[in-house]
Chain A
C-alpha cells in the first residue's frame, strides 16, 4: 500500500474513533461553491461547515437563491465544491474524478426530485430497477428487488404501468422506490411534494417518515414549513450561508420555520406584507397560462398604432 493511502486510512480510523456517538454520513468543512469569475462571480456556498449524522432527517429551508440547490448538488455529488473538504461516509469525495464521482453517487446517494424524473419509456418496475443496472446486477435479481421496493411503497399492482399512466403521487412513490432500492447512505429529496396536491403530499411524506423510522438518512429541501414537522433538524440558509441550525422533535413545526427562517419578531403589518409577497411569488408558477393572454393583448395593443399609422398616411396621400 502506498504511503499516502496508508496515511489516509489512518486518518479515517482516528476520525471514526473521534465521532463515537453516531457515525456521520456527511462532513462538510469550509465548503464553498463559486460560479463565474471577475465581476460576474457568484458565491453560491460560502464556507459551509456541516455534519449530518446517520439517521437524521434534515430539512433545509431558505428563499430562492440562498444556495439550497447548490448545497444539494454538492452533497449529491452532482457537482464538486470549489473549495473545502467533503467526507461522505468518511471518504473524501470533494476532489474525485467524474467517473469516480458517478460511482460514489451510484453507491451512496438516492435522489427524489420535485418533478419525479421517471424515464417516460420505462415501466415503473424498470424505472425502479435502473440504479441497480449501473451497479452491474443481473436482470432477474434487479427486477426482483425492484418489485420488492415497489411493494414497499404500496405500488405492487402498478409494476407494469408507464409513468404517464400514474398519478403524481404514485409517480413520486415510484421515484422513492427508485431512490431507496440501492440502500443508499443518504436520500436527497428536492422539494418532493412541490408538484403534488395535499393528499398525495401527505402519503409521500409519510413514506419518507417511514423510511426515516427504519434508519434512513434523509436530506430534504422544502419551501413548505408544514413539512418540517417530519424532520429532526432544520437548517435555514440565506446567501450561501447556514444562518440557523435547529434540532426539532418529530411532529413539531419550529416557530422559525413558520416565519420563513427570519430571526427578529415582526409586526402584523410586516407579516401580512410578507404573506402577500409570498402569495405573489407563488402566482407566476401556477397562474402563468392565465396571464399569457393578457400579455398578448398588451402586445397587440402595442402593435396596433404601428400598423395603423402607415395606413392613415397612405389614405391622406390618396386624398391629396
Chain B
C-alpha cells in the first residue's frame, strides 16, 4: 500500500507536469487564497505584537490613567465590557490629577503625556507636521525607548528649551540623521534638539499617531508655550507597591478630585494590551474570513479542473482498471492528485505571503508576523480544500465502467 501511495504521488506529479499551464492556473486560486489568509492573519498578529511592545509604551509594570470610563469592571476587578467612545465626551486629565496621584504613598512616579498642536519649523522656515508631546524626564526610562544620539532631558533640564525628536522628524525636517544642536521652532519658541530617538515600532493604539514624528519637550515648556492648553491624554504611573494596590489608590484619589465621578480609566499595561488584542482579534478574524472565501473559490476551481481531467482521461482509467486497478486505487489516485495540486498551491501561497510580508516590512512600518502555526494551518487547510473538492471527481473516476471507458475516444 505504501508503494502504491508513493506511486500515486509520482503519478500525480507526472500528470501535473504534463499539463503545466492548466495546473498553474488551477493552483492560482489556492495560491491567492492561502497567501491572503496568511497575510491577513500575520498582519493582525504583527500589529498585536507591536501593540504589545508599545502600548507598552513599554514597561509592563506601569499603570495608565486615561480620560473617559473605557471599561466596566466586575467587583473582582475583572473587565466585563469595553466602551471606546467614552473618551470622547469626558474632560481631560489635569495637573490636579497628576499631583493627586504623585502624592500617593503607593506611587513612585506620575508621568504626564500631553500634546499641543503646533507646526514645527526649522531655521529655514521649512515646516513639518508632527506631534508635539510634553512629558517628564522619566519618559525615556518608562518607555524603554533608546535615544540613539544625544540624551533625553533630565530632571534639571525641565525648564530649558530642549527637544528630543523622532527619527522621521530628523529625516524630513532637517534632512540629516543627527541634527543635534539644530533649532526647531514651535509656536514661535526656539527649542534646541538634544537627542534623537531610535525608531519606534508602529504605534497603533497608544496615544494615536506615529511617535517617529514626535517632538518631545518638557511638560512645563509645553504648558508655557501653549498658554496652559496642553491636554493630558495619559498619565503613566510607576507604582512603588503592587500594581493592584496602586490601582486602587489611584482610583480613589482620582474620584475625590473628580467629584466622585469615575470619568477616567485606570488600566495596567496587561489590561490595555488585552483591550487592544480583543479588537484586533475580531478584526483579524473578519479579514481572514473574507480571505478564506477565496480559498473556497480556489477549491471549486480544483473541482472543475479535476472533473475535466477525469473525463479527458476516461480511457486511461479504463486501461488502469483492465490492468487490475481497483475502484479504490483509482479513487485515491485522483484524490492524491487534487491534494498535491492544492498542497503545491498552498506552499507557493506561503512563499507569496512571506514575500508580501517582507514588502510590508520594507515599505511600511507594519511588522507582519507569520508565525509557524499560521503557516501550518494555512498549508493544512489548502490540503483539506484539495481533499474536500477532489472527492467528487475522484468518486466519478472510480465509478467509471471499464468497458465503456476502454471504448471512450
Contacts and interface: CB of A to CB of B under 8 A. Distances in A.
Interface string B320-352: 111111111100000000000000000000000
Contacts of A73: 403
24 contacts: A78-B321, A78-B322, A78-B406, A79-B403, A102-B321, A102-B325, A102-B327, A103-B324, A105-B323, A106-B324, A111-B323, A117-B315, A117-B406, A119-B319, A119-B320, A121-B14, A121-B18, A122-B14, A133-B4, A134-B4, A134-B323, A134-B326, A136-B4, A178-B323
Interface in B1-30: 1, 3-4, 6-7, 14-15, 18
Contacts of B319: 117-119
A99 B328 contact: yes
A182 B325 CA distance: 13
Contacts of B329: 134
A73 B407 CA distance: 12
Most chain B beta-carbon neighbours within 10 Å: one of A118, A119, A131, A138: A119
B316 interface: yes
A131 B403 contact: no
A283 interface: no
A73 B401 CA distance: 12
B277 interface: no
Interface string A143-184: 000000000000000000000000000000000001000100
Contacts of A136: 1, 3-4
A99 B326 contact: yes
B92 interface: no
A130 B18 CA distance: 18
Interface of B: 1, 3-4, 6-7, 14-15, 18, 315-316, 318-329, 402-403, 406
Contacts of B323: 105-106, 111, 130-131, 134, 178
A78 B325 CA distance: 11
B23 to A, nearest CB: 13
A89 to B, nearest CB: 15
A178 B14 CA distance: 20
Contact of B15 (A103, A109, A121): A121
Q: Specify the main secondary structure of chain B where it touches its partner.
A: helix
B324 A102 contact: yes
Interface in A86-120: 98-99, 102-103, 105-107, 109, 111, 113, 117-119
Contact of A102 (B3, B318, B326): B326
Contact of B3 (A105, A137, A182): A137
A261 interface: no
Interface in A171-210: 178, 182
Contacts of A182: 324
A76 interface: yes
A78 to B, nearest CB: 5
B387 to A, nearest CB: 22
A124 to B, nearest CB: 14
B325 A119 contact: no
B319 to A, nearest CB: 5
Nearest to B325: A134
Given A78-B406, A178-B323, 18 more contacts: A102-B324, A102-B327, A103-B324, A105-B323, A105-B324, A106-B323, A109-B324, A119-B320, A121-B14, A121-B15, A121-B18, A130-B320, A131-B324, A133-B4, A134-B323, A135-B324, A136-B4, A139-B6
Nearest to A138: B3
B7 A119 contact: no
Contacts of A78: 321-322, 402-403, 406
A237 to B, nearest CB: 18
Contacts of A113: 406
A185 B213 CA distance: 86
A134 B324 contact: yes
A142 B215 CA distance: 76
Contacts of A76: 322
Given A73-B403, A134-B4, A136-B4, A119 B326 contact: no
Nearest to A113: B406
10 closest A-B pairs (Cβ-Cβ)?
A106-B324, A102-B326, A99-B326, A131-B323, A117-B319, A134-B324, A121-B18, A78-B402, A105-B324, A133-B7
Contacts of A105: 321-324
Nearest to A116: B319
Nearest to B17: A121
B3 A139 contact: yes
A179 to B, nearest CB: 9
Nearest to B14: A121
A113 B408 CA distance: 13
B407 to A, nearest CB: 9
Contacts of A122: 14
Contacts of B328: 99
Contacts of B324: 102-103, 105-107, 109, 131, 134-135, 182
A106 B327 CA distance: 13
A119 B4 contact: no
Nearest to B398: A98
A178 to B, nearest CB: 7
A119 B327 contact: no
Contacts of A103: 324, 326
Nearest to B318: A117
A121 B322 CA distance: 18
B221 to A, nearest CB: 79
B329 to A, nearest CB: 6
B322 A111 contact: yes
Contacts of B14: 121-122
Nearest to A72: B403
Contact of B327 (A79, A98, A117, A135): A98
A182 B323 CA distance: 10
Contacts of B403: 73, 78-79
Given A119-B316, A121-B14, A139 B326 contact: no
A109 B402 CA distance: 14
Nearest to A121: B18
